A and B are shown apart, each in its own frame.
Chain A
Amino acid sequence: MASDGSFLLILTLWVTAAIGNETWGHTFTVFGITLRYIDVYFYVFAPW
């Protein structure tokens, strides 16, 4: 499993647990995917 993906999943679970509403989990999932795409962009085009 990709390290950044698993980190975002753990973060998603924490946010969902903290807020207690699964709908916010949806929102955060979309936010996580945006972060993931930015991450993949750096992975492909700007490796460090």
Chain B
Amino acid sequence: MVSSNSKEPLLINNLIAYQSAPSPYTFFSTMDDVAYFKNYKYSGEDRGITYKYFYNPVAIKLVNMLPTWIAPNLITFMGFFCVILGFVLTFSLYGTEFKGHVPWWFLILYSALLFAYRMLDEMDGKQARRTANCSPVGVMMDHFTDYYNGTMLCLPLLKFLQLDDPIKIFILLLMI
């Protein structure tokens, strides 16, 4: 436990000494958990066919065209904005029910927004590594926005395909 008369600053290197103490950062994590933050490194991989032959090579070429002053988090938010735009346009123009005809040009527009989001999501990490701007905040922001994007991408798709049946919705979600 942290002694009450301790005057030392709470340095990350000293946290291992306070393993059993509750964390000042979150209610649920202990000091032991906080000590792991220092060594945390995100490692994810995508072994999909389209990733290997399309998304990855194209994203590398596009990132090399970007100026270095563009922050990776800005790219993340641009992708997030594409998803929000598609979501808002769909339900404001064509109603909030998962029924009703949506014109073909809107589906093409939405697929372009979906593609832009997916490509920007691919590019932000590459831009971060290119400009040596990797940070835990960037990792958190990237995956934090992905949680919202996953939901906001699926709801318009349910409307486009008239999937108002729970079983059909479940089948579509398996595809993603």
The smallest C-beta distance from A37 to any residue of chain B, in angstroms, reads: 8
Residue among A17, A18, A22, A30 making CB contact with B171, cutoff 8 Å: A30
Interface of B with A (CB < 8 Å)? 46-52, 54-55, 101, 104-105, 107-108, 110-111, 114-115, 118, 121-122, 146, 149-150, 153, 157, 160-163, 168, 171-172, 174-176
Interface of A with B (CB < 8 Å)? 1-10, 12-14, 16-18, 20, 22-23, 25-26, 29-30, 32-33, 36, 39, 42-43, 47-48
25 A-B pairs in the complex with CB atoms less than 8 angstroms apart: A1-B121, A2-B176, A3-B46, A3-B51, A3-B54, A3-B55, A4-B51, A5-B175, A6-B114, A7-B50, A8-B175, A13-B114, A16-B107, A17-B108, A17-B111, A18-B104, A22-B160, A22-B161, A22-B162, A26-B161, A29-B163, A29-B175, A39-B48, A39-B49, A48-B47
